Chains A and B, each alone.
Chain A
Amino acid sequence: MLIEGNGSRPVSGTLNGTANGTMNGTNNGSQTTQASCPDANGTLPCCAGLAVPYVPFQQNNPQKYSQSEALSNGTLFPGLNLPFRLAVDGSTLPSTPLAELQALEFVVLELNLYLDTHKDDTEAFRLFQQFSAMEKAARAAYEAKYGPITQQTAATGDSYQWLSDPWPWNYGQNEVN
C-alpha cells in the first residue's frame, strides 16, 4: 500500500518510458520537477561537466510506502528499494506500540533526508509536517503508558522513572505490548 491522498498524484501517472524527454540542458540537479522518468529512475544533466561523480537525482514527489511498509523495507521510497538477492521480502515487524511509534518516526526521518536535497518539494514538506505531528502525538501516548523515552518526559512524572527496565538493547524491550 502506498501513501495516497494529501495531494499525492496517482501511482501510475509517470510511466511514459522516455527517460530523457524533458531534460532541460542545464546541469541543475535540483530542477527535477518534470517527472518524465519512471519512479525508480532519476534525472541526469545532458551535458555534464567531466571528472565529477553523478548520481541520478530522485524526482520530486516520488512514490511513497505507508509507514509500516517503509520501516519494513528500510526506505519510504519504492523507487529506492533495492534488496539483496537472498532477501526479496521486507523485514517482519513485531506488532507492538513501540514498532508503530518507530514506523512513524522513520517516515519523518526519511522525509528529513529527502528534503535536505529536495527542499522545494512542497508535497514532501506537507507530509513531513503531517507525520511529525502524528509522531509527536503517538510518542506522548506511548510515554504516558510505558514510561519516558526522553529525559524531558522523565521530568514530568510523579517519580524518577528514567531507570526503569527495559533498556532498548535488552531483549525484553520487545516484550512490552
Chain B
Amino acid sequence: MFHYEKKLQFPVKITTPNPKLAAFIISQYGGPDGELGASMRYLSQRYSMPFAEAKGLLTDIGTEELGHMEMVAAIVHQLTRDLSDEEVRANPTFAPYFVDHTTGVYPTAASGFPWTAASIQSTGDVIADLTEDLAAEQKARLTYDNILRLSDDPDVNNVIRFLREREIVHFQRFGECIRLCKEKMDAPNIYLSNPAFDKTQPANTRSRG
C-alpha cells in the first residue's frame, strides 16, 4: 500500500508564472517518457520479477517516480497560476492546452497526445523489462536535457536539473540489477528459459568453453 506525505521530494518554487514553459514541461507529466509512465512501468513490472533485488528496486524507483510526477505537476501548476485572459491570449503555445484544461493539470505530451499505456511495457520477462527500463531512463534524461535547452527560468531549471540527474542514477541501478539477475540465471545461456514464467529450468544441453 501507499501513504501520502504532504511534502515534495525536492523544493519547487517558481517565482514567475510562464504558461509557454508549462506547455512543454507538461510532457514530463504525461508524455511518452514522462514520470507517470515511469512509475506505472516499474510498479507494473515488479509483479513478475522472480528475484528479490528486482522486486525491491522496481518498487523503490517506481515509488520515487510517483514523487517526481508530483514535482512536475507542481512546476506546471505554479507556472500557470494567476493568469489573466490577456496572458493566455498572448501565448499561442499554451492556448490549445487552456481550451481543453484551463489551468488544470492533465497528463498529456507536449505535442498534445494524452498519456497512454501504449508508451510503456510490462513483458513478464526479466531481461526484456529491465532493458526497457535502461532505455526509459535515457529517454527521460534527454527530455530533461531538451527542457534545459529551451528554458531560461532558473527556478524551473533548478528542479529539472535534479530530476535529470535522478534518471542517471536510476539507469545505473537498473544496469546493476540486470547483472544481479543474470547471475541467478542459466550461466551458459540466460535465454534458455524465462525464470518469471518457467517454474523449472529445462536441462541445458549446450556446452560452452
Interface residues of B (CB under 8 A from A): 3-14, 53, 56-57, 60-61, 64, 70, 73-74, 77-78, 81, 127, 131, 134, 144-145, 148-149, 154, 157-159, 161-166, 168-180, 182-183, 187, 190-191
Contacts and interface: CB of A to CB of B under 8 A. Distances in A.
11 contacts: A49-B187, A55-B134, A73-B165, A90-B161, A91-B162, A92-B154, A92-B158, A110-B169, A113-B169, A116-B60, A118-B176
Contacts of A90: 161
Interface of A: 27-30, 49, 51-58, 71, 73-75, 77, 80-84, 86-87, 90-94, 96, 98-99, 101-102, 105-106, 109-110, 112-114, 116-119, 148-152, 162, 167-171, 173-174
Contacts of B177: 116-117
Contacts of B145: 84
B40 to A, nearest CB: 19
A169 to B, nearest CB: 4
Given A52-B127, A169-B78, A171-B78, A74 B8 contact: no
Contacts of A87: 148, 157, 161
Nearest to B78: A171
A111 B172 CA distance: 13
Given A29-B179, A74-B169, A170-B78, 14 more contacts: A49-B190, A52-B178, A53-B178, A55-B171, A58-B172, A58-B176, A71-B162, A87-B148, A91-B159, A113-B173, A116-B173, A151-B4, A169-B74, A171-B81
